[in-house]
Amino acid sequence: MVWGVRTSSAEDLKRRKRLGDTFARLLGRENVLWHPAEVMVYDCDGFTIEKHPPEVVVFPRSTEEVVGVVRTANQLGLRILARGAGTGLAGGATPRGGEVLVVLTRMNRILEIDPENRLAVVEPGVLNTQLARALEGTGFHFAPDPSSQTASTLGGNAATNAGGPHTLKYGVTVNHVVGVEAVLADGTVIEQGPVCHPGELDLLGLLVGSEGTLGVITKLWLRLTPNPQSYRTFRAVFRDLHSASEAISEIIAAGIVPAAMEVMDQGILAAVEEAFHFGFPPDAGAVVVIELDGFESAVAKEARQVLDICSKWGATEILEAKDEQERQKLWKCRKMAVAAVGRLSPSYCIQDGVVPRTRLPEIIGRIQEVSTKYQVRIVNVAHAGDGNIHPIFLFDERQPDEVERVLAAGREILKHCLSLGGSITAEHGVGIEKLPMMPQQFAPQDLEAMRRIRRAWDPEGHLAPEKVLPNS
Ligand SMILES: Cc1cc2nc3c(=O)[nH]c(=O)nc-3n(C[C@H](O)[C@H](O)[C@H](O)COP(=O)(O)OP(=O)(O)OC[C@H]3O[C@@H](n4cnc5c(N)ncnc54)[C@H](O)[C@@H]3O)c2cc1C
Protein backbone atom coordinates (compact mmCIF):
# COMPACT_ATOMS: atom_id res chain seq x y z
CA MET A 1 0.00 0.00 0.00
CA VAL A 2 2.70 2.42 1.10
CA TRP A 3 4.83 1.34 -1.85
CA GLY A 4 1.88 1.94 -4.15
CA VAL A 5 1.54 5.51 -2.94
CA ARG A 6 5.29 6.07 -3.33
CA THR A 7 5.25 4.67 -6.86
CA SER A 8 2.25 6.72 -7.93
CA SER A 9 3.72 9.85 -6.38
CA ALA A 10 7.01 9.24 -8.22
CA GLU A 11 5.03 8.72 -11.42
CA ASP A 12 3.12 11.89 -10.77
CA LEU A 13 6.40 13.74 -10.34
CA LYS A 14 7.68 12.31 -13.64
CA ARG A 15 4.46 13.30 -15.39
CA ARG A 16 4.66 16.82 -13.98
CA LYS A 17 8.30 17.11 -14.97
CA ARG A 18 7.45 16.05 -18.54
CA LEU A 19 4.79 18.73 -18.56
CA GLY A 20 7.27 21.28 -17.20
CA ASP A 21 9.75 20.26 -19.91
CA THR A 22 7.14 20.79 -22.62
CA PHE A 23 6.43 24.35 -21.47
CA ALA A 24 10.14 24.99 -20.77
CA ARG A 25 10.86 24.28 -24.46
CA LEU A 26 8.49 27.15 -25.28
CA LEU A 27 9.42 29.63 -22.56
CA GLY A 28 12.78 28.64 -21.11
CA ARG A 29 13.25 26.67 -17.89
CA GLU A 30 13.38 29.80 -15.71
CA ASN A 31 9.82 30.68 -16.76
CA VAL A 32 8.12 27.43 -15.73
CA LEU A 33 7.30 25.88 -12.35
CA TRP A 34 6.12 22.29 -12.22
CA HIS A 35 7.27 20.78 -8.90
CA PRO A 36 4.36 20.36 -6.42
CA ALA A 37 6.29 22.27 -3.74
CA GLU A 38 6.63 25.24 -6.10
CA VAL A 39 3.18 25.29 -7.67
CA MET A 40 1.61 25.07 -4.20
CA VAL A 41 2.51 28.74 -3.69
CA TYR A 42 -0.09 29.53 -6.36
CA ASP A 43 -2.95 27.55 -4.83
CA CYS A 44 -5.06 30.62 -4.00
CA ASP A 45 -5.33 34.37 -4.29
CA GLY A 46 -6.40 36.77 -1.50
CA PHE A 47 -9.49 34.62 -0.87
CA THR A 48 -7.72 31.99 1.16
CA ILE A 49 -10.73 29.87 2.13
CA GLU A 50 -10.49 27.73 -1.01
CA LYS A 51 -7.20 26.36 -2.32
CA HIS A 52 -6.20 24.10 -5.23
CA PRO A 53 -2.71 23.95 -6.71
CA PRO A 54 -2.37 24.39 -10.48
CA GLU A 55 -0.82 21.65 -12.61
CA VAL A 56 1.95 23.88 -13.90
CA VAL A 57 2.77 27.62 -13.62
CA VAL A 58 4.14 29.52 -16.62
CA PHE A 59 5.47 33.07 -16.92
CA PRO A 60 5.23 34.16 -20.57
CA ARG A 61 7.10 37.33 -21.61
CA SER A 62 5.29 38.17 -24.85
CA THR A 63 1.96 37.79 -26.62
CA GLU A 64 3.53 35.14 -28.88
CA GLU A 65 4.52 33.13 -25.82
CA VAL A 66 0.97 33.38 -24.42
CA VAL A 67 -0.30 32.08 -27.79
CA GLY A 68 2.18 29.19 -27.57
CA VAL A 69 1.08 28.36 -24.02
CA VAL A 70 -2.62 28.41 -24.94
CA ARG A 71 -2.12 26.21 -28.01
CA THR A 72 0.06 23.73 -26.12
CA ALA A 73 -2.41 23.58 -23.23
CA ASN A 74 -5.20 22.87 -25.72
CA GLN A 75 -3.19 20.04 -27.32
CA LEU A 76 -2.57 18.54 -23.89
CA GLY A 77 -6.21 18.94 -22.85
CA LEU A 78 -5.29 21.28 -20.00
CA ARG A 79 -7.44 24.20 -18.95
CA ILE A 80 -6.03 27.72 -18.63
CA LEU A 81 -6.24 30.32 -15.88
CA ALA A 82 -4.72 33.81 -16.10
CA ARG A 83 -3.18 35.41 -13.04
CA GLY A 84 -1.73 38.83 -12.34
CA ALA A 85 -0.39 39.51 -8.85
CA GLY A 86 -2.95 37.26 -7.14
CA THR A 87 -4.31 40.06 -4.94
CA GLY A 88 -7.89 39.27 -6.01
CA LEU A 89 -10.26 38.71 -3.12
CA ALA A 90 -12.91 36.47 -4.69
CA GLY A 91 -10.86 33.45 -5.78
CA GLY A 92 -10.68 34.56 -9.44
CA ALA A 93 -7.01 33.58 -9.68
CA THR A 94 -7.45 30.44 -7.56
CA PRO A 95 -7.16 27.30 -9.68
CA ARG A 96 -9.88 24.65 -9.58
CA GLY A 97 -7.16 22.03 -9.96
CA GLY A 98 -5.34 20.85 -13.07
CA GLU A 99 -4.94 24.18 -14.87
CA VAL A 100 -1.98 25.78 -16.56
CA LEU A 101 -1.67 28.97 -14.54
CA VAL A 102 -0.53 31.76 -16.84
CA VAL A 103 1.11 34.40 -14.65
CA LEU A 104 1.49 37.68 -16.53
CA THR A 105 3.87 39.47 -14.13
CA ARG A 106 6.89 39.14 -16.43
CA MET A 107 5.07 41.05 -19.17
CA ASN A 108 5.69 44.25 -17.26
CA ARG A 109 6.85 46.89 -19.72
CA ILE A 110 5.30 50.31 -20.16
CA LEU A 111 5.36 50.46 -23.95
CA GLU A 112 4.37 54.08 -24.50
CA ILE A 113 3.27 57.19 -22.65
CA ASP A 114 1.58 59.65 -24.98
CA PRO A 115 0.35 62.70 -22.99
CA GLU A 116 -0.76 64.50 -26.16
CA ASN A 117 -3.29 61.78 -26.89
CA ARG A 118 -3.80 61.09 -23.17
CA LEU A 119 -2.84 57.46 -23.63
CA ALA A 120 -0.53 54.91 -22.06
CA VAL A 121 0.16 51.54 -23.67
CA VAL A 122 1.22 48.84 -21.23
CA GLU A 123 1.74 45.12 -20.88
CA PRO A 124 -0.66 43.42 -18.45
CA GLY A 125 1.89 42.74 -15.70
CA VAL A 126 2.70 46.43 -15.12
CA LEU A 127 1.80 47.31 -11.55
CA ASN A 128 -0.75 50.07 -11.03
CA THR A 129 1.76 52.19 -9.07
CA GLN A 130 4.51 51.48 -11.61
CA LEU A 131 2.42 53.42 -14.12
CA ALA A 132 1.62 56.10 -11.50
CA ARG A 133 5.35 56.65 -10.94
CA ALA A 134 6.08 56.75 -14.66
CA LEU A 135 3.42 59.44 -15.09
CA GLU A 136 4.83 61.74 -12.40
CA GLY A 137 5.62 65.16 -13.86
CA THR A 138 3.54 64.62 -17.02
CA GLY A 139 0.48 66.40 -15.57
CA PHE A 140 -1.58 63.21 -16.02
CA HIS A 141 -2.47 60.17 -13.97
CA PHE A 142 -4.29 56.86 -14.34
CA ALA A 143 -7.41 57.36 -12.23
CA PRO A 144 -8.31 53.82 -11.04
CA ASP A 145 -6.34 53.35 -7.82
CA PRO A 146 -7.35 50.13 -6.03
CA SER A 147 -6.02 50.06 -2.48
CA SER A 148 -3.87 47.13 -3.65
CA GLN A 149 -2.25 49.36 -6.27
CA THR A 150 1.33 48.81 -5.08
CA ALA A 151 0.93 45.09 -5.79
CA SER A 152 -1.89 44.55 -8.29
CA THR A 153 -1.31 44.51 -12.05
CA LEU A 154 -3.08 46.61 -14.65
CA GLY A 155 -4.11 43.38 -16.42
CA GLY A 156 -5.72 42.18 -13.18
CA ASN A 157 -7.32 45.59 -12.67
CA ALA A 158 -8.84 45.41 -16.17
CA ALA A 159 -9.91 41.77 -15.78
CA THR A 160 -11.75 42.58 -12.54
CA ASN A 161 -12.86 46.07 -13.60
CA ALA A 162 -11.27 47.31 -10.39
CA GLY A 163 -12.47 50.28 -8.42
CA GLY A 164 -10.58 52.31 -5.86
CA PRO A 165 -10.94 55.38 -3.67
CA HIS A 166 -10.77 57.83 -6.60
CA THR A 167 -13.11 55.92 -8.90
CA LEU A 168 -16.01 57.53 -7.02
CA LYS A 169 -15.58 60.64 -9.13
CA TYR A 170 -13.61 59.34 -12.11
CA GLY A 171 -15.28 56.00 -12.83
CA VAL A 172 -14.00 52.43 -12.50
CA THR A 173 -11.38 50.75 -14.70
CA VAL A 174 -13.71 50.08 -17.64
CA ASN A 175 -14.03 53.86 -18.08
CA HIS A 176 -10.25 54.13 -18.48
CA VAL A 177 -9.43 51.22 -20.79
CA VAL A 178 -9.70 52.27 -24.43
CA GLY A 179 -8.15 49.21 -26.00
CA VAL A 180 -7.16 45.65 -25.25
CA GLU A 181 -5.15 42.95 -26.99
CA ALA A 182 -6.18 39.48 -25.86
CA VAL A 183 -5.38 35.87 -26.66
CA LEU A 184 -8.57 33.85 -27.03
CA ALA A 185 -9.16 30.26 -25.95
CA ASP A 186 -7.98 28.84 -29.31
CA GLY A 187 -4.84 30.99 -29.44
CA THR A 188 -6.23 33.67 -31.76
CA VAL A 189 -5.03 37.20 -30.96
CA ILE A 190 -7.62 39.96 -31.10
CA GLU A 191 -7.37 43.71 -30.67
CA GLN A 192 -10.35 45.73 -29.47
CA GLY A 193 -9.83 49.49 -29.71
CA PRO A 194 -8.16 51.87 -29.21
CA VAL A 195 -9.79 53.14 -32.40
CA CYS A 196 -13.54 52.68 -32.52
CA HIS A 197 -15.11 51.91 -35.88
CA PRO A 198 -18.75 52.93 -36.36
CA GLY A 199 -21.05 49.92 -36.20
CA GLU A 200 -18.50 47.79 -34.36
CA LEU A 201 -19.83 45.78 -31.40
CA ASP A 202 -18.39 46.88 -28.05
CA LEU A 203 -16.40 43.73 -27.32
CA LEU A 204 -14.01 45.82 -25.25
CA GLY A 205 -16.78 46.32 -22.71
CA LEU A 206 -17.22 42.54 -22.57
CA LEU A 207 -13.54 41.81 -22.04
CA VAL A 208 -12.99 44.33 -19.25
CA GLY A 209 -14.37 42.76 -16.09
CA SER A 210 -14.68 39.27 -17.60
CA GLU A 211 -12.24 37.85 -15.02
CA GLY A 212 -10.19 35.93 -17.57
CA THR A 213 -13.18 33.96 -18.87
CA LEU A 214 -13.07 35.36 -22.44
CA GLY A 215 -9.37 35.82 -23.11
CA VAL A 216 -5.93 36.45 -21.65
CA ILE A 217 -5.23 40.18 -21.79
CA THR A 218 -1.77 40.81 -23.23
CA LYS A 219 -1.76 44.56 -23.89
CA LEU A 220 -3.77 47.57 -22.71
CA TRP A 221 -4.33 51.06 -24.04
CA LEU A 222 -5.23 53.22 -21.04
CA ARG A 223 -6.84 56.64 -20.82
CA LEU A 224 -4.87 59.24 -18.88
CA THR A 225 -6.65 61.86 -16.76
CA PRO A 226 -5.31 65.39 -16.29
CA ASN A 227 -4.24 66.12 -12.72
CA PRO A 228 -6.71 68.43 -10.94
CA GLN A 229 -5.81 72.05 -10.25
CA SER A 230 -6.20 71.66 -6.49
CA TYR A 231 -7.01 69.18 -3.70
CA ARG A 232 -8.50 69.53 -0.23
CA THR A 233 -8.18 66.38 1.85
CA PHE A 234 -9.86 65.92 5.24
CA ARG A 235 -9.91 63.33 7.99
CA ALA A 236 -13.14 63.48 9.99
CA VAL A 237 -13.51 61.50 13.20
CA PHE A 238 -16.98 60.33 14.30
CA ARG A 239 -18.24 58.72 17.48
CA ASP A 240 -19.67 55.74 15.58
CA LEU A 241 -20.00 54.21 12.12
CA HIS A 242 -23.68 55.06 11.92
CA SER A 243 -23.17 58.85 12.16
CA ALA A 244 -20.22 58.60 9.75
CA SER A 245 -22.39 56.82 7.17
CA GLU A 246 -25.21 59.34 7.64
CA ALA A 247 -22.72 62.16 6.93
CA ILE A 248 -21.44 60.34 3.81
CA SER A 249 -24.98 59.82 2.56
CA GLU A 250 -25.82 63.50 3.09
CA ILE A 251 -22.67 64.73 1.32
CA ILE A 252 -23.67 62.78 -1.78
CA ALA A 253 -27.32 63.87 -1.46
CA ALA A 254 -26.11 67.50 -1.40
CA GLY A 255 -24.86 66.99 -4.97
CA ILE A 256 -21.17 66.94 -4.05
CA VAL A 257 -19.06 64.29 -5.72
CA PRO A 258 -15.82 64.11 -3.76
CA ALA A 259 -12.81 62.66 -5.58
CA ALA A 260 -12.86 60.03 -2.83
CA MET A 261 -14.72 59.30 0.39
CA GLU A 262 -13.50 56.35 2.45
CA VAL A 263 -14.56 55.09 5.84
CA MET A 264 -12.89 52.90 8.48
CA ASP A 265 -14.55 51.70 11.67
CA GLN A 266 -13.23 51.43 15.21
CA GLY A 267 -12.11 47.82 14.91
CA ILE A 268 -9.81 48.49 12.00
CA LEU A 269 -8.67 51.88 13.33
CA ALA A 270 -7.27 50.22 16.43
CA ALA A 271 -5.17 47.88 14.27
CA VAL A 272 -4.04 50.69 11.95
CA GLU A 273 -3.08 52.85 14.92
CA GLU A 274 -1.12 50.04 16.54
CA ALA A 275 0.71 49.32 13.27
CA PHE A 276 1.38 52.79 11.89
CA HIS A 277 0.76 55.36 14.70
CA PHE A 278 -1.27 57.88 12.69
CA GLY A 279 -2.53 59.54 15.90
CA PHE A 280 -6.26 58.69 15.83
CA PRO A 281 -8.10 59.74 19.00
CA PRO A 282 -8.52 56.60 21.17
CA ASP A 283 -12.31 57.05 21.29
CA ALA A 284 -12.68 57.34 17.49
CA GLY A 285 -15.68 55.22 16.44
CA ALA A 286 -15.12 55.81 12.72
CA VAL A 287 -12.87 57.89 10.47
CA VAL A 288 -13.88 59.24 7.07
CA VAL A 289 -11.21 60.40 4.62
CA ILE A 290 -12.71 62.88 2.17
CA GLU A 291 -10.88 64.34 -0.79
CA LEU A 292 -12.27 67.13 -2.96
CA ASP A 293 -10.53 68.13 -6.16
CA GLY A 294 -11.01 70.49 -9.09
CA PHE A 295 -10.85 74.27 -9.53
CA GLU A 296 -9.85 76.06 -6.33
CA SER A 297 -12.99 78.19 -6.00
CA ALA A 298 -15.38 75.24 -6.54
CA VAL A 299 -13.41 73.07 -4.13
CA ALA A 300 -13.47 75.82 -1.47
CA LYS A 301 -17.28 76.01 -1.68
CA GLU A 302 -17.66 72.22 -1.47
CA ALA A 303 -15.23 72.08 1.45
CA ARG A 304 -17.43 74.46 3.48
CA GLN A 305 -20.50 72.28 2.78
CA VAL A 306 -18.66 69.07 3.67
CA LEU A 307 -17.40 70.53 6.95
CA ASP A 308 -20.93 71.70 7.85
CA ILE A 309 -22.39 68.24 7.16
CA CYS A 310 -19.69 66.45 9.16
CA SER A 311 -20.26 68.84 12.11
CA LYS A 312 -24.02 68.29 11.85
CA TRP A 313 -23.46 64.53 12.26
CA GLY A 314 -21.29 65.07 15.30
CA ALA A 315 -17.73 64.87 13.93
CA THR A 316 -15.51 65.19 16.99
CA GLU A 317 -12.41 66.20 15.04
CA ILE A 318 -11.77 67.32 11.47
CA LEU A 319 -8.17 67.65 10.25
CA GLU A 320 -7.12 68.97 6.86
CA ALA A 321 -3.90 67.96 5.12
CA LYS A 322 -1.78 71.10 4.86
CA ASP A 323 0.56 69.91 2.15
CA GLU A 324 1.21 67.00 -0.20
CA GLN A 325 3.18 65.12 2.45
CA GLU A 326 0.26 65.28 4.90
CA ARG A 327 -2.14 64.31 2.12
CA GLN A 328 -0.07 61.26 1.30
CA LYS A 329 -0.03 60.35 5.01
CA LEU A 330 -3.82 60.53 5.18
CA TRP A 331 -4.09 58.25 2.17
CA LYS A 332 -1.51 55.90 3.59
CA CYS A 333 -3.66 55.41 6.68
CA ARG A 334 -6.52 54.25 4.46
CA LYS A 335 -4.50 52.26 1.95
CA MET A 336 -2.50 50.43 4.62
CA ALA A 337 -5.65 49.55 6.58
CA VAL A 338 -5.96 45.99 5.29
CA ALA A 339 -2.25 45.40 5.84
CA ALA A 340 -2.86 46.04 9.56
CA VAL A 341 -5.63 43.42 9.82
CA GLY A 342 -3.07 40.64 10.22
CA ARG A 343 -2.61 41.95 13.77
CA LEU A 344 -6.22 41.15 14.62
CA SER A 345 -6.63 37.47 13.73
CA PRO A 346 -4.83 34.52 12.10
CA SER A 347 -7.08 34.68 9.01
CA TYR A 348 -9.39 37.21 7.42
CA CYS A 349 -11.77 37.37 4.50
CA ILE A 350 -12.72 40.66 2.85
CA GLN A 351 -16.33 40.68 1.69
CA ASP A 352 -17.42 42.99 -1.13
CA GLY A 353 -20.94 44.21 -1.82
CA VAL A 354 -22.64 47.42 -2.81
CA VAL A 355 -25.84 49.24 -1.91
CA PRO A 356 -27.37 52.49 -3.14
CA ARG A 357 -25.50 55.20 -1.24
CA THR A 358 -28.60 56.30 0.65
CA ARG A 359 -28.90 52.78 2.14
CA LEU A 360 -25.41 52.82 3.62
CA PRO A 361 -26.52 53.48 7.21
CA GLU A 362 -28.98 50.54 6.92
CA ILE A 363 -26.46 48.03 5.61
CA ILE A 364 -23.97 49.07 8.30
CA GLY A 365 -26.64 48.27 10.91
CA ARG A 366 -27.33 44.89 9.31
CA ILE A 367 -23.64 43.99 9.20
CA GLN A 368 -23.53 44.54 12.95
CA GLU A 369 -26.58 42.25 13.39
CA VAL A 370 -24.99 39.54 11.22
CA SER A 371 -21.79 39.78 13.28
CA THR A 372 -23.78 39.09 16.46
CA LYS A 373 -25.94 36.37 14.89
CA TYR A 374 -22.99 34.33 13.57
CA GLN A 375 -20.58 35.27 16.33
CA VAL A 376 -18.03 36.44 13.79
CA ARG A 377 -15.96 39.52 14.52
CA ILE A 378 -16.31 41.99 11.64
CA VAL A 379 -14.39 45.23 11.05
CA ASN A 380 -15.23 47.60 8.21
CA VAL A 381 -13.49 49.61 5.53
CA ALA A 382 -15.44 50.97 2.60
CA HIS A 383 -15.28 53.09 -0.52
CA ALA A 384 -18.33 54.54 1.14
CA GLY A 385 -19.06 57.31 -1.34
CA ASP A 386 -19.88 54.61 -3.92
CA GLY A 387 -22.03 52.62 -1.51
CA ASN A 388 -19.34 49.90 -1.58
CA ILE A 389 -18.90 47.90 1.59
CA HIS A 390 -15.95 45.76 2.62
CA PRO A 391 -16.77 44.03 5.90
CA ILE A 392 -13.67 42.12 6.96
CA PHE A 393 -14.36 38.82 8.76
CA LEU A 394 -11.77 37.90 11.36
CA PHE A 395 -11.39 34.18 12.03
CA ASP A 396 -9.05 31.23 12.23
CA GLU A 397 -9.08 29.11 9.07
CA ARG A 398 -7.87 26.10 11.07
CA GLN A 399 -11.30 25.98 12.76
CA PRO A 400 -13.83 24.49 10.28
CA ASP A 401 -16.77 25.72 12.32
CA GLU A 402 -15.49 29.32 12.14
CA VAL A 403 -15.01 29.03 8.37
CA GLU A 404 -18.62 27.84 7.98
CA ARG A 405 -19.92 30.74 10.07
CA VAL A 406 -17.85 33.24 8.04
CA LEU A 407 -19.24 31.89 4.77
CA ALA A 408 -22.82 31.95 6.08
CA ALA A 409 -22.38 35.49 7.46
CA GLY A 410 -20.95 36.63 4.11
CA ARG A 411 -23.91 35.19 2.19
CA GLU A 412 -26.36 36.85 4.55
CA ILE A 413 -24.74 40.28 4.16
CA LEU A 414 -24.86 39.91 0.37
CA LYS A 415 -28.54 38.97 0.56
CA HIS A 416 -29.11 42.17 2.54
CA CYS A 417 -27.25 44.10 -0.20
CA LEU A 418 -29.62 42.61 -2.78
CA SER A 419 -32.70 43.36 -0.69
CA LEU A 420 -31.58 47.00 -0.40
CA GLY A 421 -31.28 47.30 -4.19
CA GLY A 422 -27.55 46.61 -4.39
CA SER A 423 -25.34 43.91 -5.86
CA ILE A 424 -23.32 40.90 -4.68
CA THR A 425 -20.06 42.41 -5.87
CA ALA A 426 -18.94 45.99 -5.90
CA GLU A 427 -15.48 45.66 -7.38
CA HIS A 428 -13.73 42.41 -6.45
CA GLY A 429 -15.61 40.31 -8.97
CA VAL A 430 -17.37 36.95 -8.72
CA GLY A 431 -14.48 34.47 -8.90
CA ILE A 432 -15.27 31.38 -6.88
CA GLU A 433 -16.58 33.06 -3.78
CA LYS A 434 -19.67 34.73 -5.27
CA LEU A 435 -20.54 31.88 -7.66
CA PRO A 436 -23.36 30.45 -5.45
CA MET A 437 -24.88 33.94 -5.16
CA MET A 438 -25.20 34.52 -8.93
CA PRO A 439 -28.66 32.88 -9.24
CA GLN A 440 -29.87 35.13 -6.44
CA GLN A 441 -28.90 38.23 -8.38
CA PHE A 442 -29.67 37.17 -11.94
CA ALA A 443 -32.73 35.54 -13.52
CA PRO A 444 -32.09 32.16 -15.25
CA GLN A 445 -32.47 33.75 -18.69
CA ASP A 446 -29.85 36.41 -17.86
CA LEU A 447 -27.41 33.74 -16.71
CA GLU A 448 -28.11 31.73 -19.87
CA ALA A 449 -27.45 34.81 -22.06
CA MET A 450 -24.08 35.23 -20.34
CA ARG A 451 -23.34 31.51 -20.74
CA ARG A 452 -24.03 31.73 -24.47
CA ILE A 453 -21.64 34.64 -24.86
CA ARG A 454 -19.01 32.68 -23.02
CA ARG A 455 -19.57 29.59 -25.18
CA ALA A 456 -19.29 31.71 -28.32
CA TRP A 457 -15.83 32.89 -27.22
CA ASP A 458 -14.68 29.64 -25.68
CA PRO A 459 -16.80 26.70 -26.92
CA GLU A 460 -14.69 24.04 -25.19
CA GLY A 461 -14.56 25.82 -21.83
CA HIS A 462 -10.75 26.12 -21.76
CA LEU A 463 -10.51 29.45 -19.94
CA ALA A 464 -11.07 30.08 -16.22
CA PRO A 465 -13.13 26.92 -15.71
CA GLU A 466 -15.88 26.87 -13.08
CA LYS A 467 -15.58 30.57 -12.47
CA VAL A 468 -18.05 33.46 -12.50
CA LEU A 469 -21.03 31.60 -14.01
CA PRO A 470 -22.62 28.58 -12.31
CA ASN A 471 -22.41 25.42 -14.49
CA SER A 472 -19.85 26.96 -16.83
C1 LIG B 1 -5.21 44.93 0.41
C2 LIG B 1 -6.09 44.83 -0.80
C3 LIG B 1 -6.81 45.94 -1.20
C4 LIG B 1 -7.63 45.86 -2.33
N5 LIG B 1 -8.31 46.98 -2.73
C6 LIG B 1 -9.06 46.93 -3.84
C7 LIG B 1 -9.75 48.11 -4.29
O8 LIG B 1 -9.65 49.18 -3.69
N9 LIG B 1 -10.50 47.99 -5.40
C10 LIG B 1 -10.61 46.81 -6.10
O11 LIG B 1 -11.32 46.77 -7.11
N12 LIG B 1 -9.97 45.70 -5.69
C13 LIG B 1 -9.19 45.73 -4.60
N14 LIG B 1 -8.53 44.60 -4.19
C15 LIG B 1 -8.69 43.35 -4.97
C16 LIG B 1 -7.61 43.15 -6.07
O17 LIG B 1 -6.42 43.83 -5.74
C18 LIG B 1 -8.13 43.61 -7.43
O19 LIG B 1 -9.18 42.75 -7.82
C20 LIG B 1 -7.05 43.63 -8.53
O21 LIG B 1 -7.60 44.23 -9.68
C22 LIG B 1 -6.51 42.26 -8.87
O23 LIG B 1 -5.32 42.43 -9.62
P24 LIG B 1 -4.24 41.25 -9.68
O25 LIG B 1 -3.15 41.66 -10.61
O26 LIG B 1 -3.80 40.89 -8.32
O27 LIG B 1 -5.10 40.10 -10.34
P28 LIG B 1 -5.30 38.58 -9.87
O29 LIG B 1 -5.76 38.52 -8.48
O30 LIG B 1 -4.10 37.81 -10.21
O31 LIG B 1 -6.48 38.14 -10.85
C32 LIG B 1 -7.76 38.66 -10.68
C33 LIG B 1 -8.67 38.12 -11.78
O34 LIG B 1 -8.28 38.64 -13.03
C35 LIG B 1 -7.90 37.60 -13.93
N36 LIG B 1 -6.71 38.10 -14.64
C37 LIG B 1 -5.58 38.62 -14.10
N38 LIG B 1 -4.76 39.03 -15.06
C39 LIG B 1 -5.37 38.76 -16.25
C40 LIG B 1 -5.02 38.95 -17.61
N41 LIG B 1 -3.87 39.52 -17.99
N42 LIG B 1 -5.91 38.55 -18.56
C43 LIG B 1 -7.10 38.00 -18.22
N44 LIG B 1 -7.47 37.79 -16.95
C45 LIG B 1 -6.62 38.17 -15.98
C46 LIG B 1 -7.66 36.39 -13.06
O47 LIG B 1 -7.93 35.18 -13.77
C48 LIG B 1 -8.65 36.62 -11.93
O49 LIG B 1 -9.93 36.20 -12.33
C50 LIG B 1 -7.72 44.65 -3.06
C51 LIG B 1 -6.98 43.54 -2.64
C52 LIG B 1 -6.17 43.62 -1.54
C53 LIG B 1 -5.39 42.41 -1.13
Position in ligand 1 atom list of the atom nearest CA 153: 25
Distance 303 CA to ligand 1 centre (A): 33
Give the pLDDT confidence of 255-308 residue by residue, as tens digits. 999 999 999 999 899 888 888 888 888 889 999 999 999 999 999 999 999 999
Mutate to test the pocket of ligand 1, among 62, 142, 148 (most ligand atoms within 8 A of CB): 148
Residue 256's nearest CA partner among 267, 245, 247, 265 is 247
Mutate to test the pocket of ligand 1, among 47, 57, 87 (most ligand atoms within 8 A of CB): 87
The Cα-based distances of 102 to 7, 62, 220 in angstroms read: 29, 12, 17
The Cα-based distances of 396 to 273, 347, 400 in angstroms read: 23, 5, 8
DSSP 8-state symbol, 42:
G
Distance 151 CA to ligand 1 centre (A): 9
Nearest CA to ligand 1 atom 53: 87
Give the pLDDT confidence of 103-133 residue by residue, as tens digits. 999 999 999 999 999 999 999 999 999 999 9
- Residue ranges lining ligand 1, Cβ < 6 Å: 45-46, 81-89, 92-93, 104, 124, 146-148, 152-153, 155-157, 159-160, 162-164, 211-212, 216-217, 338, 427-428, 431, 464
What pLDDT, on the 0 to 100 scale, is given for residue 8?
Answer: 57
Distance 435 CA to ligand 1 centre (A): 17
User: Which has the minimum average pLDDT: 38-47, 152-161, 325-334, 391-400?
Assistant: 325-334
Our CA dihedral for 455, 212, 206, 151, rounded to 10 degrees, sits at: 170
C-alpha 124/C-alpha 115 separation (Å) is 20
Ordered alpha helix ranges (H), 375-433: 400-419
Neighbours of 433 (CB within 10 A): 27
The sign one gets for the Cα dihedral 74, 83, 96, 464 is: negative
Distance 87 CA to ligand 1 centre (A): 5
